[in-house]
């Protein structure tokens, strides 16, 4: 167990994205497996009437909506379903990007006709040698589109930005260009026949406690018929992924039935919620999403509900923090979120040097989602044994833990590309 006096050091080592203060109400954090107490998880197949789901029809019509509503009420907030009158404008197209490997499009999505400041700037790369419309990986980035590749044609975001490389006083500078390129191996993705789309999450809502005041939750509250406090930053980031999907489905170079949503860390949480909320995503990838993402909340290890809702209260619905000291009362856990992805392919990944995200808790969450996948006749992890380092396991649910720290690495991407290759259709030249 880690004393409170060392907690801030632990967080700094385990979570490199963003500064995290000491948690006043959390007396200790557990990073020792032997100290994990017993806990009981809800059965994802147990219906409100006490009966067990036995058919896909029961799951789709009764249990899945029931579980989804529990997550809305207790974790992420209500997900707006009101359609928006979205328009878009291509601001730049480069048909010879990456030494003629790709076409690069910069597209502004206007999320509202009434408030044109509600925007999303999508950066899209598509392989030039593709014979048809291609599958696309979609994910948000942490520091602005200019950070994923060193390209002077990409504008530097002017929005509030969390601390990171090339960020000064919470704003990106020229030094941020390409600073996160190691997490976005665009050439490798393109060479394998896939496209890549990304946008900066901070332009949807600034990642700070009062970010909602100037973000989409306030700008579109009347249009979406939802008040800011009814959902969360995590909810609006997930909602924005769905709006990016709206655009991608009509782009002539994108296969509309093969858009893969992925995310790392807090953006992995948002990717999971987007995948659960919008079944148009053909595949979902969670890279070290941890507490509030793929890791079990009732398992006392690493980051906890109490810690995360104190440091980042804006990420979740107000109800979530009420379980900070009583996760036993929480009516859901994250294996049920993963189950909402079924029967679509799901990849969950962890890192040995990121114990704060609870790798074993992420694995167990994937394991306990398996009964729902079996309902659809899909094989999950195929084992209940925690795998060795860099030994991926699973079919429609797949998991790996790799060496290294909290990051997205070439090893991670290689696994995701191989997984996509098993479940997507590519049209090679």
Question: Catalytic site residue 265?
Answer: yes
Confidence band of 426 (pLDDT split at 50, 70, 90): confident
Confidence of residue 13 (pLDDT cuts 50, 70, 90): very low
Please state the rounded mean pLDDT for residues 388-406: 98
245 found inside a domain: yes
| Structural domain that includes position 91 | 80-256
Please tell me whether residue 232 adopts helix, strand or coil conformation. Answer: coil
Cis peptide before 343 (omega within 30 of 0): yes
The tokens 């919470």 sit on which residue? 170
pLDDT in tens, 100-119: 999 999 999 999 999 999 99
Q: Which tens digits make up the pLDDT trace of 357-396?
A: 999 999 999 999 999 999 999 999 999 999 999 999 999 9
Specify if 251 maps to a domain.
yes
Q: Report pLDDT for 119.
A: 97
Write down the pLDDT at residue 428: 54
Q: Is the bond preceding 52 in cis, omega lying within 30 degrees of 0?
A: no
Which position among 121, 159, 314, 406 bears the catalytic label?
406
What token pair was written down for 51? 């009966």
pLDDT of residue 28: 77
% the chain with pLDDT above 70: 93
Q: Which of 112, 176, 265, 350 is an active site residue?
A: 265
Largest CA distance in the chain: 60
How far are the Cα atoms of 77, 133, 203, 308 from residue 230, in angstroms, in the given order? 6, 38, 20, 19
pLDDT beyond 70 at 253: yes
Read off the pLDDT of each residue in 158-175 and give the average, rounded to a whole number. 98
Q: What is the mean pLDDT of the chain?
A: 94
pLDDT digits (tens, 9 = 90+) for 71-105: 999 999 999 999 999 999 999 999 999 999 999 99
Q: Does 26 score more than 60 pLDDT?
A: no
The answer to whether 180 touches 142, Cβ cutoff 8 Å, is yes
The phi and psi torsions of 120 (rounded to 5 degrees) equal -135, 125
pLDDT, mean of residues 184-202? 98
User: What is the b/e burial string over 61-98, where b = at least 16 CB atoms within 10 angstroms of the residue's CB?
Assistant: ebbbeebbebbbebbbbbbbeeebeeebeeeeeeeebb
Evaluate whether residue 127 is within a structural domain: yes
Give the dihedral of Cα atoms 21, 26, 32, 33; nearest 10 deg: -120
Count of domains for the chain: 1
For residue 18, name the pLDDT band (cuts at 50, 70, 90): very low
Of 259, 283, 249, 254, whose CA–CA distance to 132 is shortest? 254
Q: Confidence band (pLDDT; 50, 70, 90) for 23? A: very low
Distance of alpha carbon 71 from its chain centroid, rounded? 15
Q: Is 310 a catalytic residue?
A: no
**Is 190 part of a structural domain of the chain?**
yes
Burial of 58 from C-beta contacts in 10 A (0-12 / 13-18 / 19+):
middle
What does the alpha-carbon distance between residue 108 and residue 188 come to, in Å, rounded to a whole number? 25
pTM of the entire structure?
A: 0.95
Where b means 16+ CB within 10 Å and e means fewer, 298-328 reads bbbbbbbbbbbbbbbebbbbebbeebbeebe
Is the pLDDT at 275 greater than 60? The verdict is: yes
Q: What is the Cβ-side half-sphere exposure of residue 58, based on CA atoms within 13 angstroms?
A: 13
Rounded to an integer, the average pLDDT of 225-246 is: 98
Among left, alpha and beta (phi > 0; psi -120 to 50; other), residue 314 is alpha
62 — pLDDT class (breaks 50, 70, 90): very high
Q: Are strands 102-110 and 119-127 parallel, antiparallel or unpaired?
A: antiparallel
Is the pLDDT assigned to residue 17 strictly greater than 50?
A: no
Using alpha carbons only, what angle is made at residue 120 by residues 85 and 348, rounded to the nearest 5 degrees? Answer: 110
What mean pLDDT is predicted for residues 213-242? Answer: 98
Beta bridge mates, 137: 196, 260
pLDDT at 9 over 90: no
Q: Quick check: is 226 in a domain?
A: yes
pLDDT over threshold 80, residue 55: yes
**What is the average per-residue pLDDT within 248-269?**
98
């Amino acid at each position: 167990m880690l004393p409170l006096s060392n907690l801030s050091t632990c967080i700094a080592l385990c979570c490199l994205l963003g500064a995290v203060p000491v948690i006043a109400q959390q007396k200790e954090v557990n990073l020792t497996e032997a100290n994990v107490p017993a806990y009981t998880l809800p059965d994802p197949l147990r219906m409100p009437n006490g009966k067990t789901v036995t058919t896909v029809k029961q799951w789709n019509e009764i249990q899945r909506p029931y579980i989804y509503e529990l997550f809305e009420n207790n974790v992420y907030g209500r997900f707006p379903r009101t359609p928006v009158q979205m328009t878009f404008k291509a601001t730049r197209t480069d048909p010879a990007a990456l030494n003629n490997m790709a076409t690069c499009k910069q597209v502004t999505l206007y999320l509202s006709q009434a408030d044109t400041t509600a925007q999303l700037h999508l950066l899209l790369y598509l392989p030039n040698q593709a014979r048809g419309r291609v599958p696309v990986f979609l994910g948000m980035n942490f520091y602005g589109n200019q950070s994923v590749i060193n390209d002077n044609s990409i504008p530097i975001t002017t929005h509030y930005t969390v601390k990171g490389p090339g960020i000064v006083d919470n704003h990106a500078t020229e030094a941020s260009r390409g600073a996160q390129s190691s997490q976005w191996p665009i050439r490798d993705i393109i060479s394998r026949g896939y496209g890549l789309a990304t946008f900066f999450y901070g332009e949807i809502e600034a990642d700070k406690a009062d970010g909602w005041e100037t973000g989409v939750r306030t700008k579109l509250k009347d249009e979406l018929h939802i008040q800011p406090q009814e959902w969360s930053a995590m909810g609006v980031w997930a909602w924005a992924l769905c709006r990016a999907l709206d655009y991608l489905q009509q782009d002539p170079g994108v296969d509309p039935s093969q858009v893969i949503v992925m995310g790392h860390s807090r953006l992995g949480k948002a990717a999971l919620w987007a995948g659960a909320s919008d079944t148009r995503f053909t595949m979902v990838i969670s890279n070290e999403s941890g507490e509030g993402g793929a890791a079990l909340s009732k398992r006392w290890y690493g980051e906890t509900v109490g810690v995360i809702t104190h440091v980042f209260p804006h990420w979740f619905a107000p109800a979530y923090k009420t379980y900070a000291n009583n996760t036993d009362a929480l009516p859901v856990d994250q294996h049920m979120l993963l189950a909402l992805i079924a029967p679509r392919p799901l990849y969950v990944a962890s890192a040995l040097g990121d114990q704060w995200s609870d790798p074993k808790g992420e694995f167990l969450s994937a394991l306990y989602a398996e009964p729902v996948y079996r309902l659809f006749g899909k094989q999950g992890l195929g084992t209940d044994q925690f795998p060795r380092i860099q030994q991926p396991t699973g079919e429609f649910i797949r998991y790996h833990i790799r060496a290294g720290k909290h990051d997205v690495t070439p090893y991670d991407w290689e696994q995701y590309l191989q997984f996509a290759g098993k479940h997507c259709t590519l049209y090679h030249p």
